[in-house]
Amino acid sequence: MAWEEWEQLKAQAADRHSTRMQLNQYPADQGGGSTQGDLVVGHKDLEQVGQAAHDLFGHFTTYSGHARVASEAAAGGLKGEGFALGGALEHVTERWSEQTKSLLDACAHISNHLRYTKNQHAADDSYIAGAVSSIATLDKGFDDRKGH
């Protein structure tokens, strides 16, 4: 990928995401003691974040692997020809690999945590529904005994 193409892709990505994030705040003169904000996150939002982290993990694994292999080959070739740049490129490639692992770990952590949270909330909802149902059944039985 040429440098100009990379810069163009970065600019396009920035244009697409420039209006996506907005932080709202209350006016400074608003009274009241409530600290409750108006930020709401639903299941769909969390699913999208988890999916984006999962997708980034998959794509970045592929593309960073290509970059690593190409950089290692270039570093080896330059070192083999006696260029000091080869050692420097090798050093950069090692740092790239370390940073790639950190990013991939973070993506996996986000995706896995959101998947776990979704499953846990589903289990909690099921438990609560069962508990409420059993309370309603007990309450109905109690009403029947009282002759209602």
In tens, the pLDDT along 38-64 reads 666 677 878 888 888 889 889 999 999
Measured CA to CA in angstroms, residue 145 lies from 37, 38, 111, 132, 148 at distances of: 47, 47, 51, 20, 8
Share of the chain above pLDDT 70, in %: 75
Q: From start to end of 55-139, where are the E strands?
A: none
Tokens found for residue 13: 């990505």
| Token reading at 31 | 């009274």
Question: Does residue 133 have a pLDDT over 70?
Answer: yes
Please report the pLDDT score of residue 89 as a whole number.
95
Q: Enter the tokens of residue 70.
A: 């190409």
Task: Read off the amino acid at residue 143.
Answer: D
pLDDT of residue 113: 85
Instruction: Quick: pLDDT tens for 6-36.
Output: 888 888 877 776 555 555 565 555 555 555 6
Q: What is the pLDDT of residue 129?
A: 83
Instruction: State the pLDDT at residue 90.
Output: 95
* 83-114 pLDDT tens trace: 999 999 999 999 999 999 999 999 888 888 88
Q: Rg of the chain's alpha carbons, rounded to an integer?
A: 27
Contact between residue 50 and residue 111 where contact means Cβ atoms under 8 Å apart: yes
